[in-house]
A = this chain, B = another copy of it.
Amino acid sequence: MRTITLEELKELIESKRYGAIKRALSEEYPVDIAEMLEELPFEWVVPIFRLLPKELGADTFIEMGSDLQERLIGGFSDKELRLLLNEMYVDDTVDLIEEMPANVVKRILATAHPEMRKDINEILAYPKDSAGSVMTTEYIALRSFMTVVEAFEKIRRVGTNSETMYTCYVTNKKKKLIGVITVKDLLLADPEKTVGDLMETNIICAHTDENKEEVSNRIREYGLLALPVVDKDGLLVGIVTVDDAFDIISQESEEDFSKMAATAPTDLPYTKTSIFALFKARFPWLLLLTLSATFTGAIISSFEEKLAACAVLIGFIPMLMNSGGNSGSQASVAVIRGLSLGDLELKDAFKVLFKEIAVGAMCGLLLGLCNALKMLLLDRLILGNVEVNLWVILVVSLTLALTVMMAKAVGCLLPFGAKLIRLDPAVMAAPVISTLVDALSLLIYFGFAVNFLNL
């Protein structure tokens, strides 16, 4: 919990009580300090940042937004930047590099220690969104012949520079991963035993090119604190820790939520997002969706005279389009989440299509039947609308059944299609599905109307 408020900090700065600031901030958590620095005028940020102890400074730096990070780096001397990079973990440095413009990246790489530069370049070479691209290379490796006492010696020696010290990895001399051992196992064991006696050899691991969400979910499913990442030869190259996995899954979910609501993702929680930022995130999608309705408008226009002649049909247009839209989004959300979480892959497209057509047929037929009954009982008998005759009921109900089935097929296939052409399935979904489903449902409707009602 924060021990100093933003106002108190501002007062200390204004009265130039740097000793007190240093003491106060040393008590705070990095994420809280970063949040306060984001709120301060920039000319204060560099001097305040310089007051932080090195490690706390690095931990605070990685919690900042990328704008502040960039400005701060601009204010650093090369020596300061080097000291900062020395304190940062490799995966955090990679995250930073991915957010910075080219000139800053160049400066970071030029300034980093050669060994770190090598690690950074290795991680940057893995495909985007792969386990390799999010792992860190700072883990504790033990050998199976070490005793418990020797293992603790190594853990004490290298522990401070590792992202986690509680799970250690046992490798052979070729660096092949042969076991996993936890500090808990070591603490509870007889000190004379060796790591090889105690280690778990049934290892839950990930390959460098696996999808990062899939790997993060594996960490969740098995309740792990960290997961080793191996290359195609089984050599240990890095680890993914539970805190990073938790962040990856949260971020992915929030991005999918934004995209499905046809909004560009915003970095900040709702309460901290400005009105203009919300406008910018939402308007382009609304414009796209509004303009894309030109197609449905054109279809209706071309049918305008016939609709005017049989006006009762107009009233069912919203119901048919909504039912289609809802069916489609049920299918597309299921597929988008399946793809995001690694439950579905491109090769599953046909299996999914079959399943959705089956579900669509069941939903569509039953819904068509319910609708026919409703039109007969409510519209015709209770409300006495004589225009609602049996042929109209047939046209509307058949359209409903077919639209639901069609919408499920379109809704499940489009995310796969987007993935195939390397677009984001979630972004594609809302505008394209609604346009396509709306247009198709109208064509079905008018097709049936022309045939059955002799329009």
Contact = CB atoms under 8 A, between A and B. Distances in A.
Interface string A65-99: 00000000000000000000000000000000000
Contacts of A28: 202
A234 B438 CA distance: 57
B271 A367 contact: no
A326 B337 CA distance: 20
A266 B326 CA distance: 17
A101 interface: no
A312 B304 contact: yes
A367 B293 CA distance: 13
For this complex, into which size category does the number of interface residues on chain A fall?
A: 35 or more
Contacts of A305: 311
Given A187-B152, A202-B3, A297 B321 contact: no
A104 to B, nearest CB: 25
A40 interface: no
A362 B337 CA distance: 32
Secondary structure type dominating chain A contacts: helix
A103 B28 CA distance: 50
B311 A304 contact: yes
B165 A184 contact: yes
A350 interface: no
16 contacts: A1-B203, A219-B246, A249-B249, A257-B333, A260-B333, A261-B332, A262-B330, A270-B344, A275-B362, A276-B362, A279-B359, A279-B362, A289-B323, A293-B319, A294-B378, A321-B322
Nearest to A338: B270
A283 B363 contact: yes
B318 A269 contact: no
A118 interface: no
Contacts of A309: 308
A204 B286 contact: no
Copies per complex of this chain: 2
Given A286-B323, A286-B326, A205 B1 contact: yes
A366 B352 CA distance: 40
Given A245-B246, A279-B362, A318-B317, A29 B333 contact: no
Contacts of A296: 318-319
A220 interface: yes
Contacts of A316: 297
A262 B326 contact: yes
Interface string A87-125: 000000000000000000000000000000000000000
Contacts of A142: none
Given A262-B326, A286-B326, A294-B378, A301 B308 contact: no
A3 B204 CA distance: 11
A414 to B, nearest CB: 14
A316 B278 CA distance: 27
Given A247-B220, A296-B318, A300-B314, A202 B27 contact: yes
A183 interface: yes
Contacts of A262: 326, 329-330
